[in-house]
Structure 1
Amino acid sequence: MAIYWINTAASMPEFFVHWWQGLQAQSLLELIAVITAVLYLWLAIRENIWCWFFAFISTALSIYIFHQASLLSESLLNVFYLVMAVYGWYQWRGGQSHNPRQIQKWPLKKHLLWIAITALFVPLLGLYTQQYGAAYPFLDAFTSCFAVLTTILVAYKVYENWYYWLVIDSVSMWLFWQKELYFFTGLFAIYLIMVIIGIIQWSKSYDRQSAQITRH
């Protein structure tokens, strides 16, 4: 055990040097994509409709970045995100009713049903992208398929979306680290913290919302 800790301590400077060199090599596009992605999530936590504007910018840049890194499922996912940025804006405005959308909670059975349906697409997408040289095709497909479901939950303001993101963002962070996308690795580390804040903030908003309905 002592030898292990000595070897680990000795390798730490090399680890940070490798990380810093990789970080410096990242593109300006990736930095902008990360900054706008953070703005998206921060505004989403605050239930601010402008989150979708920054989501549009971030995802447009991410499509190109992930395609260059051979994360083909992630690239396809961001095409979906681009469309959902427009749809999310529409839904949060209230859709056809023009009444701002309120936070809702789904019963467990409904979540389990949609998890089962989504899981069916993971091996299909993994096999498809594997043919085109995708890196980590099935893990990439897992995060992409469930991110599609979770983004729909966000558009409809389903409270439990934050718990889905905890899993998706953790796996995505590992994937981006493996592909040396260090800005995105850092982004998803920040995401994990912000997701916890989102759970707390939306829970408070839901309680206030429920109290107002009860009074009326």
Structure 2
Amino acid sequence: MTDFVQTISEQVMATSWLEWSAVGLAVAYLVLAAHQSLWCWLAAAISCSIYTYLMWHAQLYMETVLQVTYVLLAGYGWWQWRYGAGRAAVQKVAELSLAWHLRWLAILVLVAGAVALALERYTTADAVWLDSYTTVFSLFATWLLTRKQFANWWYWLVIDAVYVYLYASKGFVITGALYFVYLILVFYAMWQWQTARTEQQQCSSSG
């Protein structure tokens, strides 16, 4: 136990200020998203820009692509929440059917598998299967968030659990811990969104 604690302490001390900055901004992003604040997308854009650099140097190429795409999605999310479909409060957004999700799950599994096979064959990327599946499903979940679909949080529960292992195994202990915190914050976000929806429904009923 003492050796384990010492190892964790050494890894924490070795964590770069860049990773610490990315972690702080990533936590801010999720907290702000839980409160449906437009500023969550700015925090996301800066955090993901930092992670782009870190993931490239760790040879997690699909994670690098993911982080770059996240920066673009942050811009898209800001626009959607400011001018597009995300302008509506979550309680006013029509939820998608189970059949819709099942169709997309089948598509995403195939796409992620194809990406993993290509990376395994043509690159030196590490952890290609976990990397590919978390990347593809993370993009999908983020897109759902830009549309303020409540179901995005269910996807994140699974994705974040996998990320805890993936990042910790690559030596990003603080980032792995971040995704453990994310698991807790996802429940908080679900509670916040559900509370907002319930309050709006009660106001509509009384009105």
TM-score, structure 1 as length reference: 0.89
**Aligned residue identity for 1:111:** H
Larger displacement relative to structure 2 (23-32 or 157-166):
23-32
Q: Match of 2:146?
A: 155
Structure 1 position 188 matched with structure 2 position 188:
no
Structure 1 stretches lacking a partner, 5+ long? 1-11
Give how far 1:215 is off.
5.6
How well do the aligned residues superpose, as a CA RMSD in angstroms?
Answer: 1.6
**What CA distance in whole angstroms lies between the structure 1 residues aligned with 2:198 and 2:53?**
40
Q: Match of 2:118?
A: 128
**What CA distance in whole angstroms lies between the structure 2 residues aligned with 1:208 and 1:197?**
16
Q: Match of 1:203?
A: 194
Q: Match of 2:83?
A: 94
Give how far 1:128 is off.
2.5
**Aligned residue identity for 1:32:** S
Q: What SS does structure 2 have at the residue aligned with 1:208?
A: helix
The 5 Å alignment of 1:97-112 reads 100-103=87-90, 104=93, 105-112=95-102
Q: Match of 2:24?
A: 35
2:50 maps to which of 58, 61, 68: 61
Q: Match of 1:82?
A: 71
Say whether the 8 Å CA contact 1:93–1:101 is kept in structure 2.
Answer: no
**Aligned residue identity for 1:140:** D
Q: What SS does structure 1 have at the residue aligned with 2:134?
A: helix
Q: Match of 2:158?
A: 167
Q: What SS does structure 1 have at the residue aligned with 2:87?
A: coil
Give how far 1:59 is off.
0.4
1:118 maps to which of 104, 108, 111: 108
Say whether the 8 Å CA contact 1:72–1:134 is kept in structure 2.
Answer: yes
Larger radius of gyration: 1
Structure 2 stretches lacking a partner, 5+ long? none
Q: 1:114 to 1:211 in 2, by over 3 A?
A: farther
**Aligned residue identity for 2:127:** Y
Number of positions where the alignment pairs a residue of Structure 1 with one of Structure 2: 203
**Aligned residue identity for 1:141:** S
**What CA distance in whole angstroms lies between the structure 2 residues aligned with 1:126 and 1:165?**
20
**What CA distance in whole angstroms lies between the structure 2 residues aligned with 1:112 and 1:215?**
37
Give how far 1:182 is off.
0.9
**What CA distance in whole angstroms lies between the structure 1 residues aligned with 2:64 and 2:153?**
22
Higher relative contact order (CA 8 A, sep 6+): 2
Structure 1 position 146 matched with structure 2 position 146:
no
Q: 1:129 to 1:35 in 2, by over 3 A?
A: same
Give CA deviations for 1:88-136 in whole Å, capped at 9, x if unaligned: 00001132x8x82221322211111111111111111112222321111
